[in-house]
Amino acid sequence: MTNPVGSDSLTPLYVYDESMRNELIEEAQQLPSVEISSAAAANAVMLGGGYFTPLPGYMNLADAMSVAEGMHMTDGSFFPVPILNLVESIADIEGAERIALRDPNVAGNPVIAIQQVDAIELVSDAQMALMTEKVYRTADNEHPGVDAFNSHGRYAISGPIQVLNFSYFETDFPDTFRTAVQIRNEIEQRGWKRVVAFQTRNPMHLAHEELCHMAMQRLECDGLVIHMLLGQLKPGDIPADVRDDAIRTMVRLYFPENSAIVTGYGFDMLYAGPREAVLHAYFRQNMGASHFIIGRDHAGVGDYYGAFDAQTIFDTEVPPDALEIEIFRADHTAWSTKLNRVVMMNEAPDHSKEDFVLLSGTRVREMLSEGIAPPKEFSRPEVAEILINYYQSL
């Protein structure tokens, strides 16, 4: 199993000691408080679960700018994207040394964490523009990640945090949400040494399933961790509970016993393409994976990124000693009518486009909405049935 990034052990910021946590919950009721953004709450969940080891909390502006520009903090330690707590107003917390952070995603806005306030800094328009351009590689507000990042406010509150709960993820997804600590423990309990992780924010069709089988076989892995995003998505994406049902059904029916686990993490999608791919690799190493699958258009949206930018960034921008985890580079996978199996398209040079079963996302959604299952060469029938039921319920 790989070591955590920059550390011998995970440093989860969730307060596991129950009596201490109860004391902090009581303290939080007396502290000045601020309702944070969904992104900042998701950062707290990831910090709490050990995924962002060894960060002690939210970055200050100097570290965030340094990370945006060169993927390292001012002390030289590696991190792929700024981890910020940006708020619109500091009227209720100005001058406070400790504050309660209220969760925007749970009814009643309960306290998700207590933060020590090291600094409150006003982020200039120029600084926001630079971070936006460096992380998202565009300033276009039509990009959902750019739009979200620039809507959180301009006051950056930095300092270490103590996490009191995992927001709605534990209650809404009790069988799926797992911390990096829990996944590491399960990998160890199963006796897996070489583990490949697969990221998804969508249901898995046959090509995704076969890509995982390919990676496991070629890398000689003991196990696969399917690790799905459970947080906020852009409009039109399939909800996490439907995706969870579809993926669990596929694994139960088409993967050997003790070869794959289905898990999820509490984070909002950035749609930041290459930079987000590096973040994905970062926290997959922290959860214990030795390998990570990155395919075409990983973590992208629209036409903002080249098809393989999320792979080449590991060669051109990530320092060679920054990560232990190894990247499994995949091309688009599809059913070959010549070979009667799923192949990576770049491994079938004698094929033309007509030799593959290819369906656009728009066409698949149309078929499912009409109650029509995609061909078996594209999607498992059991998965298609779950998705048809979802689309017909809208």
**Per-residue model confidence as pLDDT tens digits over 214-246:** 999 999 999 999 999 998 877 788 888 999 999
pLDDT at 117 (0 to 100):
98
With a CB cutoff of 8 Å and minimum separation 6, the contacts of 13 are 44, 47, 48, 50, 56, 57, 113, 160, 161, 162, 163
> Can you give the residue ranges of every domain in the chain?
18-170, 175-393
Name the residues annotated as catalytic: 201-202
Q: For residues 195 and 187, is the Cβ–Cβ distance under 8 A?
A: yes
**Per-residue model confidence as pLDDT tens digits over 156-199:** 999 999 999 999 999 999 999 999 999 999 999 999 999 999 99
Below-70 pLDDT ranges, the chain: none
CA dihedral 20→24→25→30, nearest 10 degrees, is 150
pTM: predicted TM-score of the whole model, two decimal places: 0.95
**Per-residue model confidence as pLDDT tens digits over 121-151:** 999 999 999 999 999 999 999 999 999 999 9
Q: For residues 84 and 150, is the Cβ–Cβ distance under 8 A?
A: no
E strands, 165-245, where?
195-200, 223-229
Architecture of domain 18-170: Roll (3.10)
Architecture of domain 175-393: 3-Layer(aba) Sandwich (3.40)
